[in-house]
Amino acid sequence: MSSEGESNFGVSGPSHLTVIDWESTHYRSSVIASLVKGVYVLERDRQQNRVLTPTALAPPWWEFFNFQLNNVLVDAADYSFFGAVFELKSPALIKAPKYVVAFRGTLTEPNTRSRDILLDLKCISNRLHKNSRFKRALDSIETLVDKGGTANVWLAGHSLGSAIALRTGRKMTKRGYPLETYLFNCPFASAPLERIRYKKIQLGIHISSSIIKVGAIRAYTYLKKPKKQEEDDPFVVLANWMPYLFVNPADPICSGYIGYFSHREKMEMIGASKIERLATKHTGVSLMSAAILGRKSEPFHLLPSAELIINQGQSSNTCKPHGIAQWWDPKLNFHIIKYQY
């Protein structure tokens, strides 16, 4: 399907959702995914000089669900639209938000390609939170929470956009404002061991990695001699924040989260939960950053709790493993696993 066809709500959008049911997980995720798609199309409208014109393709992606565009988040470097704030016109519905802050992922068009790829690299190196997009997003979220309250503000993003939603959501939770968050195909900054066919080999690599990381952490702690008063345990601080994490096992960018949570569960079963909790709070990148550069940082994918939604269906030409369209597919076959720390 062409980019124009993908951008056209009447052609590729979830127009089958004519009945409002905010209590339904699939309905909520389909609507929120549509808003994220609306940010993608909004940026394409900007590049085609059709924003606020009769030919604009973005508005149906939110207007169909009774949302209006409240604000657009603009990147200070390339002036692209990377996020948007949507406001529900009739928010007095059970389980419905008043505001949704949505972030798009990487676009390969010439106007955005270099900037987006740079941020993808920052995501891998765990430096995304040092970027102006993150700061602009956080300022906008803080303003909305002050205005509407925690329960009325939801976060959402796809791919790179979900990385921004994850980091801002984690920041807000640490400040005492856990927000309902939808993370579609969120990048996992480690090798996707789930691609290995043999489960025993998977488990062996997971355990070896955990033990090696714990050894490195112990050595670094001994050499560094940290202050007596350490920071609060991030697992405890973030435990009550439970974002919705949408993953596809066939997508190497996000599938690592499946093993991330299941391995923690297995380590608890064999009595090695303390080792795994310590190992999970660090990655090779964060350990090297601390040891070599003196930068203390949490792993990008640090999540004590989450509601994992796994797409168990087969991908098609219109619903690819890393695409956002799969999450509003009426034939979506998904499995939900709740991990509470």
Handedness of CA 65, 150, 33, 38 (dihedral sign): positive
Angle (deg, nearest 10), helices 273-280 and 256-269: 150
Q: What letters, b where the CB count within 10 A reaches 16 and e where it falls short, cover 58-97?
A: bbbbbebbebebbeebebeeeebbbbbbbbbeeeeeeebb
Residue pair 5/321 in contact by the 8 Å Cβ criterion: no
Taking alpha carbons only, the member of 96, 99, 103, 94 closest to residue 149 is 99
- 291 CB neighbour count, 10 Å cutoff: 14
Handedness of CA 227, 124, 239, 211 (dihedral sign): negative
For residues 78 and 172, give the distance between their C-alpha atoms in angstroms, rounded to a whole number. 26
pTM of the entire structure? 0.84
pLDDT reported for residue 152: 94
Tokens linked to 202:
């998977």
Angle (deg, nearest 10), helices 160-174 and 113-124: 50
For residues 116 and 307, give the distance between their C-alpha atoms in angstroms, rounded to a whole number. 28
pLDDT reported for residue 213: 43
Residue pair 105/157 in contact by the 8 Å Cβ criterion: yes
Residue pair 156/181 in contact by the 8 Å Cβ criterion: yes
For residues 141 and 139, give the distance between their C-alpha atoms in angstroms, rounded to a whole number. 6
Residue pair 320/181 in contact by the 8 Å Cβ criterion: no
**φ, ψ (nearest 5 deg) of residue 31:** -65, -45
Domain layout of the chain by residue ranges: 3-191+234-270+300-339
Residue pair 311/333 in contact by the 8 Å Cβ criterion: yes
pLDDT reported for residue 12: 94
Taking alpha carbons only, the member of 269, 279, 330, 341 closest to residue 306 is 341
Taking alpha carbons only, the member of 45, 46, 48, 47 closest to residue 9 is 45
Per DSSP, 232 falls in state P
Is the CATH number of domain 3-191+234-270+300-339 1.20.58? Answer: no
Judging by beta carbons within 10 Å of its beta carbon (0-12, 13-18, 19+), is residue 223 exposed, middle or buried? exposed
Name the residue with tokens 């603009």: 74
- Low-confidence residues of the chain: pLDDT under 70: 1-2, 91-92, 190-232, 265-298, 315-318
